[in-house]
């Protein structure tokens, strides 16, 4: 695999580059308007863009937002364009192939192309669509680790058409996550949360052979608690195969919450349950871990030499159920371990708390990070080899 930083001005001057990035960012409603709530995936692309511009390359940025079925005005990249324009004043926006062709002929130095998933052939990994994209460039760069687990045309098929290399953010992802896969320092603690255990089972199973302890919270803890005979009330969670549960418990590396923060249908006030055995199967929902769990998990974090965190431990968007995730975030941030955080919600939380700079690496990948650390081969990465 070749990397962008191996290229000098001699190899980039005048080159027309297709740069695939991941701008699938989170938005929130603010005064009736949608605003970007976390622009980390956008700013993570700046290093590659700046490097290319400094070496006189011309760039067409390819990105997606959401998962549209055809053209959807709500998922246009126009707001991304507005954010990028704050830094790159010469940036142009092309809404169609026709506009892209016009700006390409005008030799514009930096162009953002409309949501690549608006176009037929992208999600199908079409060779014909890839050839159409490739006609606008002479070099392809994948800097979109967060989408490299998807076999899309702008990620995989396009590498058949052009010389293809990895961008600067992609290089950082592979180097830092590679430390966990290939040269981890023990004790190694993994913190796994989030709502869907289905996406995390492979990650947990793969890390069982590497990690010393796996601290579990949020919705993915519920089927495991239920398997131990604890009531989970009206909490909605994904089912998991009994054999999978058995294998997880046989490892003796999984730690589950000892107490929980709950909510009933009767009001917003949280109900703290200090002992799982005293919780009756009533009308409640599990939404956070409790104080005893925070203290226990913190002890493991303080003794770790390597920490990987993916997924919040509760419904952190609600202040009533944010404490578990926040206290674990602060414990990891102050740890002397080599620490990585990834996953859209988790990264947003870390940025909101002002702790991102305390981590050794903040991954742009959610599903891609899980797939990579699960030992899977990511199509977008394999295509660069």
Q: Which amino acids are annotated catalytic?
A: 41, 196, 344, 367
Task: Give the whole-angstrom CA distance, residue 213 versus residue 304.
Answer: 9
Question: Given its phi and psi angles, is residue 370 left (phi above 0), alpha (psi -120 to 50 degrees) or beta?
Answer: alpha
Is-contact 36 27, C-beta < 8 A? yes
Question: Given its phi and psi angles, is residue 213 left (phi above 0), alpha (psi -120 to 50 degrees) or beta?
Answer: beta
Task: Give the whole-angstrom CA distance, residue 343 versus residue 353.
Answer: 15
CA angle 163/165/169 to nearest 5° reads: 155
Is-contact 57 17, C-beta < 8 A? yes
The DSSP string of 269-281 is: --EEES-GGG--S
The 8-class DSSP code of residue 46 comes to: H
Is-contact 248 254, C-beta < 8 A? yes
Is-contact 360 185, C-beta < 8 A? no
Q: Which of 194-198's residues contact partners 24+ apart within 8 Å by CB, and which partners?
A: 194/218, 194/219, 194/220, 194/310, 194/311, 194/312, 194/343, 194/345, 195/219, 195/220, 195/237, 195/238, 196/220, 196/238, 197/223, 197/237, 197/238, 197/240, 198/238, 198/240
């Amino acid at each position: 695999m070749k990397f962008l930083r191996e290229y000098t001005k001699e190899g980039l001057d005048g080159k027309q580059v297709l740069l695939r990035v991941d701008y699938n960012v989170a938005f929130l409603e603010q005064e009736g308007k949608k605003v970007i709530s976390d622009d980390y995936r956008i700013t993570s692309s700046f290093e590659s863009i700046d490097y290319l511009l400094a070496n006189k390359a011309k760039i067409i940025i390819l990105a997606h937002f959401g998962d549209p079925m055809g053209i959807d005005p709500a998922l246009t990249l126009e707001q991304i364009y507005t954010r990028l324009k704050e830094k790159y004043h010469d940036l142009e926006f092309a809404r169609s192939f026709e506009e892209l062709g016009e700006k390409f002929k005008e030799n514009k130095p930096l162009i953002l192309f409309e949501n690549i998933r608006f176009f037929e052939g992208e999600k199908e990994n079409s060779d014909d669509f890839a050839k159409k994209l490739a006609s606008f460039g002479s070099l392809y760069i994948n800097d979109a680790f967060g989408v490299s687990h998807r076999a899309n045309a702008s990620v995989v098929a396009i590498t058949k058409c052009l010389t293809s290399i990895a961008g600067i953010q992609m290089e950082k992802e592979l180097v830092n996550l590679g430390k966990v896969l290939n040269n981890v320092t023990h004790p190694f603690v993994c913190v796994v949360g989030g709502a869907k255990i289905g996406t995390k089972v492979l990650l947990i199973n793969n890390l069982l052979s590497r990690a010393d302890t796996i601290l579990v919270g949020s919705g993915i803890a519920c089927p495991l608690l239920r398997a131990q005979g604890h009531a989970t009330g009206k909490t909605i969670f994904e089912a998991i195969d009994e054999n999978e549960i058995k294998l997880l418990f046989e490892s003796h590396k999984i730690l589950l919450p000892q107490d929980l923060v709950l909510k009933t249908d009767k009001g917003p006030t949280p109900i703290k349950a200090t002992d799982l055995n005293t919780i009756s199967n009533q009308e409640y929902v599990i939404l956070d871990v409790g104080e005893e769990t925070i203290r226990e998990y913190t002890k493991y974090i303080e003794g770790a030499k390597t920490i990987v965190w993916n997924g919040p431990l509760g419904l952190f968007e609600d202040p009533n159920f944010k404490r578990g995730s926040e206290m674990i975030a602060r414990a990891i941030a102050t740890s002397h371990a080599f620490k990585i955080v990834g996953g859209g919600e988790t990264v947003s939380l870390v940025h909101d708390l002002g702790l991102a700079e305390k981590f050794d690496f903040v991954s742009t990948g959610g599903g891609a990070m899980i797939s990579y650390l699960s030992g899977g081969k990511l199509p977008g990465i394999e295509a660069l080899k």
